[in-house]
Amino acid sequence: MTSVKLSTIWLTQRLKALAQGLGFDAWGVARVEALDSPPPPYPSPAYEAYRRYLSWIQQGLHAGMEYLAQAPHLRADPAHVLPGARSLFLVLQRYLHTRQTRSPIAQYAWSEDYHVHLRRRLQILADYLQRYGAQARPFVDTAPLLEKAWAVQAGLGWIGKNTLLLNRRLGSFTFIGGVITTAELTPDDPFVEDFCGSCNRCITACPTQALTPYVLDARRCIAYWTIEAPALEPTAPDLQGWIFGCDICQTVCPWNRFAQPQATLPPAAHAFFSAQEWAQLSRSQIRKHQKGTALRRTRPEKLQKAATMALTNPAKTPAAAALATYRDYAAPAEPPKLTHVGDTPAERAHTAPEPAPYRTADSRTERLHKKGP
Protein backbone atom coordinates (compact mmCIF):
# COMPACT_ATOMS: atom_id res chain seq x y z
CA MET A 1 0.00 0.00 0.00
CA THR A 2 1.42 3.35 -1.03
CA SER A 3 2.13 6.17 1.38
CA VAL A 4 -0.50 8.28 -0.39
CA LYS A 5 -3.15 5.63 0.31
CA LEU A 6 -2.00 5.37 3.92
CA SER A 7 -2.14 9.14 4.39
CA THR A 8 -5.64 9.25 2.86
CA ILE A 9 -6.92 6.62 5.28
CA TRP A 10 -5.12 8.27 8.19
CA LEU A 11 -6.55 11.71 7.44
CA THR A 12 -10.07 10.30 7.04
CA GLN A 13 -9.85 8.48 10.36
CA ARG A 14 -8.53 11.55 12.14
CA LEU A 15 -11.29 13.71 10.68
CA LYS A 16 -13.98 11.26 11.80
CA ALA A 17 -12.46 11.13 15.28
CA LEU A 18 -12.54 14.91 15.41
CA ALA A 19 -16.19 14.93 14.29
CA GLN A 20 -17.05 12.57 17.12
CA GLY A 21 -15.17 14.74 19.59
CA LEU A 22 -17.10 17.79 18.40
CA GLY A 23 -20.37 16.09 19.29
CA PHE A 24 -21.80 15.22 15.89
CA ASP A 25 -24.12 12.22 15.90
CA ALA A 26 -23.11 10.63 12.58
CA TRP A 27 -20.65 11.27 9.77
CA GLY A 28 -19.58 9.90 6.42
CA VAL A 29 -17.52 10.65 3.31
CA ALA A 30 -18.66 10.90 -0.31
CA ARG A 31 -16.42 11.26 -3.34
CA VAL A 32 -17.21 14.31 -5.47
CA GLU A 33 -18.68 13.45 -8.87
CA ALA A 34 -20.50 15.37 -11.59
CA LEU A 35 -24.18 14.41 -11.56
CA ASP A 36 -25.02 15.84 -14.99
CA SER A 37 -22.68 13.52 -16.87
CA PRO A 38 -23.99 10.50 -18.87
CA PRO A 39 -25.46 7.89 -16.53
CA PRO A 40 -22.95 5.29 -15.34
CA PRO A 41 -23.73 1.57 -15.63
CA TYR A 42 -24.86 1.62 -12.00
CA PRO A 43 -26.18 5.12 -11.15
CA SER A 44 -25.25 6.34 -7.70
CA PRO A 45 -27.89 7.46 -5.16
CA ALA A 46 -26.72 11.06 -5.64
CA TYR A 47 -27.16 10.79 -9.42
CA GLU A 48 -30.70 9.43 -9.04
CA ALA A 49 -31.55 12.15 -6.50
CA TYR A 50 -30.36 14.82 -8.94
CA ARG A 51 -32.67 13.43 -11.63
CA ARG A 52 -35.60 13.54 -9.19
CA TYR A 53 -34.69 17.13 -8.32
CA LEU A 54 -34.78 18.15 -12.00
CA SER A 55 -38.17 16.48 -12.46
CA TRP A 56 -39.48 18.18 -9.30
CA ILE A 57 -38.45 21.59 -10.63
CA GLN A 58 -39.89 20.94 -14.09
CA GLN A 59 -43.27 20.08 -12.56
CA GLY A 60 -43.32 23.37 -10.64
CA LEU A 61 -43.60 21.62 -7.27
CA HIS A 62 -41.10 24.04 -5.72
CA ALA A 63 -43.85 26.71 -5.46
CA GLY A 64 -42.34 30.17 -4.99
CA MET A 65 -38.83 28.99 -4.08
CA GLU A 66 -37.31 30.22 -7.32
CA TYR A 67 -33.78 30.05 -5.92
CA LEU A 68 -34.07 26.26 -6.16
CA ALA A 69 -34.83 26.46 -9.88
CA GLN A 70 -32.09 28.93 -10.75
CA ALA A 71 -28.96 27.46 -12.34
CA PRO A 72 -29.65 23.77 -11.57
CA HIS A 73 -26.29 22.91 -13.13
CA LEU A 74 -24.61 24.38 -10.05
CA ARG A 75 -26.14 21.59 -7.96
CA ALA A 76 -24.92 18.99 -10.41
CA ASP A 77 -21.25 19.35 -9.57
CA PRO A 78 -19.85 20.30 -6.12
CA ALA A 79 -16.75 21.60 -7.91
CA HIS A 80 -18.81 24.71 -8.69
CA VAL A 81 -18.79 25.42 -4.94
CA LEU A 82 -15.08 24.72 -4.47
CA PRO A 83 -12.89 24.33 -7.58
CA GLY A 84 -10.82 21.19 -7.40
CA ALA A 85 -13.08 19.59 -4.76
CA ARG A 86 -12.53 15.86 -4.37
CA SER A 87 -14.42 14.90 -1.21
CA LEU A 88 -17.49 15.77 0.84
CA PHE A 89 -17.47 15.14 4.58
CA LEU A 90 -21.11 14.99 5.77
CA VAL A 91 -22.35 15.12 9.37
CA LEU A 92 -25.71 14.74 11.11
CA GLN A 93 -26.80 16.53 14.27
CA ARG A 94 -30.09 15.52 15.86
CA TYR A 95 -32.48 18.15 17.15
CA LEU A 96 -35.38 16.12 18.53
CA HIS A 97 -36.59 17.64 21.81
CA THR A 98 -39.68 15.56 22.55
CA ARG A 99 -42.02 13.13 20.81
CA GLN A 100 -45.16 14.78 22.17
CA THR A 101 -44.90 18.44 21.28
CA ARG A 102 -47.66 20.97 21.90
CA SER A 103 -45.89 23.92 20.32
CA PRO A 104 -47.11 25.58 17.10
CA ILE A 105 -43.42 25.93 16.15
CA ALA A 106 -41.51 23.14 14.37
CA GLN A 107 -38.86 21.67 16.65
CA TYR A 108 -35.91 22.65 14.46
CA ALA A 109 -36.59 26.30 15.37
CA TRP A 110 -36.85 25.82 19.13
CA SER A 111 -33.21 26.57 19.88
CA GLU A 112 -30.24 28.54 18.62
CA ASP A 113 -30.10 28.95 14.84
CA TYR A 114 -28.68 25.67 13.54
CA HIS A 115 -26.71 27.50 10.85
CA VAL A 116 -24.64 29.14 13.58
CA HIS A 117 -24.54 26.14 15.92
CA LEU A 118 -23.29 23.72 13.27
CA ARG A 119 -21.08 26.08 11.33
CA ARG A 120 -18.89 26.85 14.36
CA ARG A 121 -17.91 23.20 14.66
CA LEU A 122 -17.78 22.54 10.93
CA GLN A 123 -15.28 25.37 10.64
CA ILE A 124 -13.03 23.47 13.05
CA LEU A 125 -13.13 20.48 10.69
CA ALA A 126 -12.32 22.76 7.75
CA ASP A 127 -9.45 24.37 9.65
CA TYR A 128 -8.07 20.92 10.43
CA LEU A 129 -8.00 20.01 6.74
CA GLN A 130 -6.38 23.32 5.88
CA ARG A 131 -3.54 22.50 8.26
CA TYR A 132 -2.60 19.70 5.86
CA GLY A 133 -2.56 21.94 2.82
CA ALA A 134 -6.09 21.25 1.54
CA GLN A 135 -8.76 23.79 0.75
CA ALA A 136 -11.98 23.30 2.69
CA ARG A 137 -15.30 25.10 3.05
CA PRO A 138 -18.07 24.31 5.56
CA PHE A 139 -21.72 24.40 4.50
CA VAL A 140 -25.09 24.28 6.26
CA ASP A 141 -27.83 25.18 3.77
CA THR A 142 -25.41 27.82 2.51
CA ALA A 143 -24.24 26.31 -0.80
CA PRO A 144 -25.96 24.98 -3.92
CA LEU A 145 -25.55 21.35 -2.89
CA LEU A 146 -28.09 18.53 -2.71
CA GLU A 147 -27.19 17.81 0.89
CA LYS A 148 -29.67 14.96 1.43
CA ALA A 149 -28.46 13.23 -1.73
CA TRP A 150 -24.82 13.50 -0.71
CA ALA A 151 -25.68 12.26 2.78
CA VAL A 152 -27.13 9.13 1.19
CA GLN A 153 -23.98 8.84 -0.92
CA ALA A 154 -21.94 9.05 2.29
CA GLY A 155 -23.88 6.17 3.84
CA LEU A 156 -25.83 8.20 6.40
CA GLY A 157 -29.32 7.01 5.50
CA TRP A 158 -31.97 7.04 2.81
CA ILE A 159 -34.46 9.62 1.56
CA GLY A 160 -37.86 8.53 2.82
CA LYS A 161 -41.36 8.89 1.43
CA ASN A 162 -41.65 12.18 3.35
CA THR A 163 -38.65 13.39 1.27
CA LEU A 164 -36.50 13.72 4.42
CA LEU A 165 -33.25 11.93 5.20
CA LEU A 166 -33.91 8.96 7.47
CA ASN A 167 -31.24 7.38 9.64
CA ARG A 168 -32.06 4.10 11.35
CA ARG A 169 -30.72 5.27 14.71
CA LEU A 170 -31.38 9.01 14.58
CA GLY A 171 -34.64 9.10 12.66
CA SER A 172 -35.38 12.22 10.60
CA PHE A 173 -35.07 14.98 13.20
CA THR A 174 -31.52 15.79 12.09
CA PHE A 175 -29.62 18.74 10.68
CA ILE A 176 -27.28 18.05 7.76
CA GLY A 177 -24.01 19.86 7.36
CA GLY A 178 -20.60 19.21 6.00
CA VAL A 179 -17.27 20.28 4.60
CA ILE A 180 -16.32 20.25 0.95
CA THR A 181 -12.59 19.87 0.43
CA THR A 182 -9.86 19.34 -2.11
CA ALA A 183 -8.37 16.66 0.13
CA GLU A 184 -8.63 13.05 -0.98
CA LEU A 185 -10.63 11.20 1.69
CA THR A 186 -11.61 7.54 1.79
CA PRO A 187 -15.29 7.38 0.71
CA ASP A 188 -17.86 5.35 2.59
CA ASP A 189 -20.25 2.93 0.93
CA PRO A 190 -23.47 4.65 -0.14
CA PHE A 191 -26.73 3.71 1.56
CA VAL A 192 -28.62 1.75 -1.11
CA GLU A 193 -31.50 0.29 0.91
CA ASP A 194 -34.95 1.78 1.50
CA PHE A 195 -36.49 0.90 4.85
CA CYS A 196 -39.79 2.72 4.28
CA GLY A 197 -41.23 -0.49 2.84
CA SER A 198 -45.01 -0.42 2.46
CA CYS A 199 -45.47 2.21 5.18
CA ASN A 200 -47.42 5.30 4.09
CA ARG A 201 -48.07 6.95 7.44
CA CYS A 202 -46.48 10.27 6.49
CA ILE A 203 -48.54 10.45 3.31
CA THR A 204 -51.81 9.56 5.05
CA ALA A 205 -51.18 11.90 7.97
CA CYS A 206 -50.36 15.00 5.90
CA PRO A 207 -53.46 17.20 6.39
CA THR A 208 -52.99 19.07 3.10
CA GLN A 209 -52.15 16.07 0.87
CA ALA A 210 -48.80 17.62 0.05
CA LEU A 211 -47.03 14.26 -0.07
CA THR A 212 -46.99 11.42 -2.52
CA PRO A 213 -44.30 8.73 -2.18
CA TYR A 214 -40.91 10.46 -2.31
CA VAL A 215 -42.39 13.69 -3.71
CA LEU A 216 -43.38 16.89 -1.88
CA ASP A 217 -45.72 19.43 -3.46
CA ALA A 218 -44.52 22.62 -1.77
CA ARG A 219 -47.61 24.45 -3.02
CA ARG A 220 -49.64 22.50 -0.46
CA CYS A 221 -47.02 22.23 2.31
CA ILE A 222 -47.69 23.98 5.63
CA ALA A 223 -43.95 24.44 6.21
CA TYR A 224 -43.58 26.24 2.89
CA TRP A 225 -46.44 28.65 3.59
CA THR A 226 -45.36 29.45 7.15
CA ILE A 227 -41.61 29.76 6.42
CA GLU A 228 -40.71 30.32 2.78
CA ALA A 229 -43.76 32.05 1.30
CA PRO A 230 -43.57 35.87 1.38
CA ALA A 231 -47.14 36.11 2.73
CA LEU A 232 -50.08 33.94 3.75
CA GLU A 233 -52.18 34.30 0.63
CA PRO A 234 -55.81 33.20 0.23
CA THR A 235 -54.58 30.21 -1.78
CA ALA A 236 -52.70 28.87 1.26
CA PRO A 237 -54.06 25.62 2.74
CA ASP A 238 -55.44 25.31 6.26
CA LEU A 239 -52.38 25.64 8.51
CA GLN A 240 -53.82 23.24 11.11
CA GLY A 241 -52.70 25.51 13.96
CA TRP A 242 -49.04 25.68 12.93
CA ILE A 243 -47.44 29.13 12.77
CA PHE A 244 -43.86 28.21 11.78
CA GLY A 245 -43.07 24.93 10.08
CA CYS A 246 -44.78 21.58 10.54
CA ASP A 247 -43.60 18.28 12.05
CA ILE A 248 -46.54 16.00 11.26
CA CYS A 249 -44.82 13.86 8.62
CA GLN A 250 -41.94 13.29 11.04
CA THR A 251 -44.08 12.73 14.12
CA VAL A 252 -45.88 9.77 12.56
CA CYS A 253 -42.77 8.13 11.09
CA PRO A 254 -42.09 4.80 12.84
CA TRP A 255 -38.34 5.32 12.52
CA ASN A 256 -38.52 8.25 14.93
CA ARG A 257 -39.56 5.82 17.66
CA PHE A 258 -35.91 4.79 17.83
CA ALA A 259 -34.58 8.36 18.01
CA GLN A 260 -33.53 9.69 21.40
CA PRO A 261 -34.09 13.37 22.32
CA GLN A 262 -30.91 15.42 22.06
CA ALA A 263 -29.28 17.11 25.04
CA THR A 264 -27.07 19.80 23.49
CA LEU A 265 -29.58 22.39 22.23
CA PRO A 266 -31.76 23.67 25.08
CA PRO A 267 -35.13 25.03 23.93
CA ALA A 268 -35.69 28.77 24.12
CA ALA A 269 -38.70 30.36 25.82
CA HIS A 270 -40.62 30.75 22.55
CA ALA A 271 -40.77 26.96 22.18
CA PHE A 272 -43.41 26.90 24.93
CA PHE A 273 -45.59 29.75 23.66
CA SER A 274 -49.13 28.93 22.56
CA ALA A 275 -50.71 30.46 19.47
CA GLN A 276 -52.64 32.82 21.74
CA GLU A 277 -49.43 34.08 23.34
CA TRP A 278 -47.86 34.61 19.92
CA ALA A 279 -50.90 36.58 18.77
CA GLN A 280 -50.65 38.87 21.80
CA LEU A 281 -46.98 39.75 21.32
CA SER A 282 -46.01 43.03 19.70
CA ARG A 283 -43.79 43.03 16.63
CA SER A 284 -40.81 44.26 18.64
CA GLN A 285 -41.32 41.43 21.14
CA ILE A 286 -41.50 38.90 18.32
CA ARG A 287 -38.27 40.26 16.84
CA LYS A 288 -36.60 39.76 20.21
CA HIS A 289 -37.62 36.08 20.22
CA GLN A 290 -36.56 35.68 16.59
CA LYS A 291 -33.05 36.94 17.25
CA GLY A 292 -30.46 34.19 16.97
CA THR A 293 -32.99 31.52 15.91
CA ALA A 294 -34.35 30.07 12.69
CA LEU A 295 -37.53 32.10 13.27
CA ARG A 296 -35.74 34.93 11.49
CA ARG A 297 -36.72 33.24 8.23
CA THR A 298 -40.13 34.91 8.38
CA ARG A 299 -41.48 38.37 9.21
CA PRO A 300 -43.05 39.20 12.62
CA GLU A 301 -46.36 40.23 11.05
CA LYS A 302 -46.57 36.88 9.27
CA LEU A 303 -46.09 35.04 12.55
CA GLN A 304 -48.82 37.18 14.10
CA LYS A 305 -51.19 36.44 11.24
CA ALA A 306 -50.57 32.70 11.43
CA ALA A 307 -51.18 32.78 15.19
CA THR A 308 -54.42 34.69 14.70
CA MET A 309 -55.54 32.16 12.09
CA ALA A 310 -54.82 29.34 14.55
CA LEU A 311 -57.06 30.98 17.15
CA THR A 312 -60.02 31.13 14.76
CA ASN A 313 -60.18 27.33 14.75
CA PRO A 314 -59.01 26.06 18.16
CA ALA A 315 -59.94 22.47 17.30
CA LYS A 316 -57.13 22.46 14.74
CA THR A 317 -54.14 23.19 16.93
CA PRO A 318 -50.84 21.29 16.98
CA ALA A 319 -51.82 20.04 20.44
CA ALA A 320 -55.03 18.51 19.13
CA ALA A 321 -53.26 17.30 15.99
CA ALA A 322 -50.53 15.66 18.07
CA LEU A 323 -53.08 13.80 20.19
CA ALA A 324 -54.91 12.65 17.08
CA THR A 325 -51.63 11.64 15.48
CA TYR A 326 -50.56 9.44 18.39
CA ARG A 327 -54.04 7.91 18.59
CA ASP A 328 -54.40 7.14 14.87
CA TYR A 329 -50.77 6.29 14.14
CA ALA A 330 -49.65 4.73 17.39
CA ALA A 331 -46.71 2.39 17.16
CA PRO A 332 -47.66 -1.30 17.12
CA ALA A 333 -47.29 -3.25 20.32
CA GLU A 334 -44.72 -5.51 18.67
CA PRO A 335 -41.99 -3.54 16.87
CA PRO A 336 -40.86 -4.90 13.52
CA LYS A 337 -38.05 -7.43 13.52
CA LEU A 338 -35.20 -5.18 12.40
CA THR A 339 -31.48 -5.43 12.85
CA HIS A 340 -30.56 -2.70 15.32
CA VAL A 341 -28.44 0.06 13.89
CA GLY A 342 -24.81 -0.25 14.83
CA ASP A 343 -24.74 -4.04 14.59
CA THR A 344 -22.47 -3.97 11.57
CA PRO A 345 -18.91 -2.59 11.46
CA ALA A 346 -19.91 -0.13 8.73
CA GLU A 347 -22.72 1.36 10.84
CA ARG A 348 -20.54 1.49 13.94
CA ALA A 349 -18.02 3.52 11.94
CA HIS A 350 -20.72 6.01 10.93
CA THR A 351 -22.30 6.80 14.28
CA ALA A 352 -21.31 8.07 17.68
CA PRO A 353 -22.06 6.13 20.86
CA GLU A 354 -25.26 7.12 22.61
CA PRO A 355 -24.57 9.65 25.40
CA ALA A 356 -25.88 9.09 28.89
CA PRO A 357 -29.31 10.69 29.39
CA TYR A 358 -29.66 13.87 31.36
CA ARG A 359 -30.74 13.59 34.97
CA THR A 360 -33.89 15.63 35.08
CA ALA A 361 -35.41 17.34 38.08
CA ASP A 362 -38.37 14.95 37.89
CA SER A 363 -36.17 11.88 38.09
CA ARG A 364 -34.31 13.26 41.13
CA THR A 365 -37.61 14.03 42.82
CA GLU A 366 -38.83 10.52 42.15
CA ARG A 367 -35.69 9.05 43.72
CA LEU A 368 -36.13 11.20 46.81
CA HIS A 369 -39.72 10.05 47.16
CA LYS A 370 -38.67 6.44 46.86
CA LYS A 371 -36.05 6.85 49.57
CA GLY A 372 -38.48 8.58 51.88
CA PRO A 373 -37.66 11.21 54.55
- The residue length of the chain stands at 373
Does residue 335 sit within a domain? no
Contact 86, 182 (CB under 8 A): yes
Task: Report the C-alpha gap between 178 and 29 in whole angstroms.
Answer: 9
163 domain-assigned: yes
Would residue 351 count as lying in a domain? no
pLDDT at 359: 35
The whole domain housing 67 covers: 1-330
CA neighbor of 102 nearest in space, from 275, 230, 233: 275
Residue among 36, 141, 188, 189 flagged as catalytic:
141
CA distance 18 to 26: 12
- From the centroid of its chain, how far is CA 50? 18
User: What does the pLDDT read at residue 306?
Assistant: 95
Can you give the pLDDT at residue 356? Answer: 42
pLDDT tens track for 218-250: 999 999 999 999 999 988 999 999 999 999 999
Whether 188 sits among the annotated catalytic residues: the reply is no
pLDDT of residue 364: 38
| pLDDT at residue 237, as a whole number | 93
**Which residues touch 307 (CB under 8 Å, ≥6 apart)?**
104, 243, 275, 276, 278, 279
pLDDT at position 130, please? 95
pLDDT for the residue numbered 168? 95
Q: What is the pLDDT of residue 39?
A: 67
372 located within any domain: no
- Given a contact cutoff of 8 angstroms between Cβ atoms, the answer to whether 203 and 196 are in contact is no
Q: How many domains, the chain?
A: 1
Predicted model pTM: 0.85
pLDDT digits (tens, 9 = 90+) for 59-92: 999 999 999 998 888 899 999 999 999 999 999 9
Regions of the chain short of the pLDDT cut 70: 1-6, 39-40, 314-373
pLDDT number for residue 304: 95
Please tell me the predicted confidence (pLDDT) of residue 325. Answer: 54
Residue 339 placed within a domain: no
Taking a C-beta distance cutoff of 8 angstroms, is the pair 211, 249 a contact?
yes
Report yes or no on 353 lying in a domain. no
The phi and psi torsions of 163 (rounded to 5 degrees) equal 70, 15
Query: Which pLDDT score, from 0 to 100, does residue 268 have?
Result: 93
The verdict on residue 366 lying in a domain is no
CB 156: neighbour CB atoms within 10 A? 28
Helices (H), the chain: 3-21, 45-58, 114-131, 147-153, 201-205, 222-223, 248-251, 275-280, 283-290, 300-311, 318-328, 345-350, 361-371
Is 362 within the bounds of a domain?
no
Q: What's the pLDDT at 347? A: 52
Give pLDDT, residue 324.
Answer: 59
